[in-house]
Amino acid sequence: MPSNIVPSNIPDIVIGRLPIYLRALTRLEQEGREVTSSHELGQRLGISSAQIRKDLSHFGGFGKQGTGYQISYLIDQLKQVLKIDREWDVALVGAGDLGHAVANYRGFSDRGFRIVAVFDNDSAKIGQAVGKLTVRAFSEMEAFVREHNIKVAMIAVPAQNAQDVADQLIKAGVRAILNYAPISLNVPTGVYVQYIDPVVHLQRMTYYLD
Amino acid sequence: MPSNIVPSNIPDIVIGRLPIYLRALTRLEQEGREVTSSHELGQRLGISSAQIRKDLSHFGGFGKQGTGYQISYLIDQLKQVLKIDREWDVALVGAGDLGHAVANYRGFSDRGFRIVAVFDNDSAKIGQAVGKLTVRAFSEMEAFVREHNIKVAMIAVPAQNAQDVADQLIKAGVRAILNYAPISLNVPTGVYVQYIDPVVHLQRMTYYLD
């Protein structure tokens, strides 16, 4: 969830499910399907069909009772709602193992995001290739982000550096941060943070194990 | 959420928040704090204090009205509920950039998990060091998982191999899979899957941007 007050009357928990719906719908489309139902989506996702219908009704409802959802139309609508009917330039900070893995991840580009720069403060890494990009000096980051009007960033640096990196990104205009470092970030109102924390996911599953 | 029916009457969405509470409480404890409140937790997490009290009440309620929560007691209770009052052995499959990053992540060991083996099918990687471990051949995986009674695994292989890896893990006895590959896995009832998908988190934030 974003760390600040939600500027909208749609519950953040609903917003959080929309990318999941979008991913499932995209997969259905790749399978050659044209129409789906809340029942089918629910089965694929482990979410009740009633919940899915209710979530989508916040946006006016994209389907008609009994006829299901037109997949391509629903995909377009969700992309508009999530503002990924455009492509967001993304700055990646950290060019270690994780930074490399993130930079080489192929799932960004057709889903609304494009990594346009990678920064690190290790002089051994600066100038090296990471995917199709060249690692830039951390000292160039603020000017670059400002100049290119970058609003989205990913932090893949050690925990002890993450808050400092976040502060500089925010100062340069970044408003959405995906943080891979295992530490909570303090950010001002109007800036959003999401965390990639594998342990949270593991702990959620062990609850169900014997 | 788990992909299957929840064997309990506590909503999965509640279970999903408990690791977040645990992380915040652990951080408070590291800051030297002994007592907190649903209000303070809520402010740190962007969740309403009423929601937090309601979530915790599913487990009998760990605090008294007006006196707040004893942090160390609540941490112990949450660890018991999430079954991480023990340490789970974890198999990691995939020794590429991402596998290395996961293997070197320092946040597992004191939070209930210990990576005990890394597998890959690339002969150039087998025998190489990854953190403190040595990459084992994928062909050894099933026997190893079975012999060591491993119930938890992480998949960090290319999307096209992920389902096959999952099938073999499950056949060997794994019941909880954290999947980094950008593909949905089909698993039988009683097996749980969680996904690490950075794009889902990015899309959730762009909704709030201009």
Query: CA A134 to CA B126: how far, in whole Å?
Result: 29
Q: Contact B208/A46, CB-based, under 8 Å?
A: no
pLDDT at B66: 66
Taking the model in full, what pTM does it have?
0.81
Output the CA–CA distances (angstroms, integers) from residue B116 to A92, B68, B72, B109, B120, in the order listed. Answer: 30, 39, 28, 11, 14
Alpha-carbon dihedral angle through residues A79, A181, A168, B48, given to the nearest 10 degrees: 60
With a CB cutoff of 8 Å and minimum separation 6, the contacts of A114 are: A87, A88, A89, A90, A108
Which tops the pLDDT comparison, A146 or A5? Answer: A146
Q: Phi, psi (5° rounding) for residue B133? A: -105, 165
**Complex ipTM value:** 0.91
Residues on chain A touching B175 (C-beta within 8 angstroms): 209
pLDDT at A63: 61
Least confident range of A74-83, A136-145, B54-63, B189-198: B54-63
Q: Which candidate from B24, B97, B204 shows the least CB-CB separation from A194?
A: B204
Average pLDDT on A32-52 reads: 89
Q: Contact B206/A4, CB-based, under 8 Å?
A: no
Pick the closest to residue B22 from B67, B81, B65, B63 (CA basis).
B81
Residue of A nearest to B109 (CA): A199
Query: CA A173 to CA A151: how far, in whole Å?
Result: 6
Other beta carbons less than 10 A from residue B56's beta carbon = 23
Contact, B192 vs B176, CB < 8 A?
Answer: yes
Counting residues of chain B whose pLDDT is more than 70, the rounded percentage is 93
Residue A161 has pLDDT above 80, yes or no: yes
Residue A107 has pLDDT above 50, yes or no: yes
Contact, A21 vs A55, CB < 8 A?
Answer: yes
Residue type, B133: L
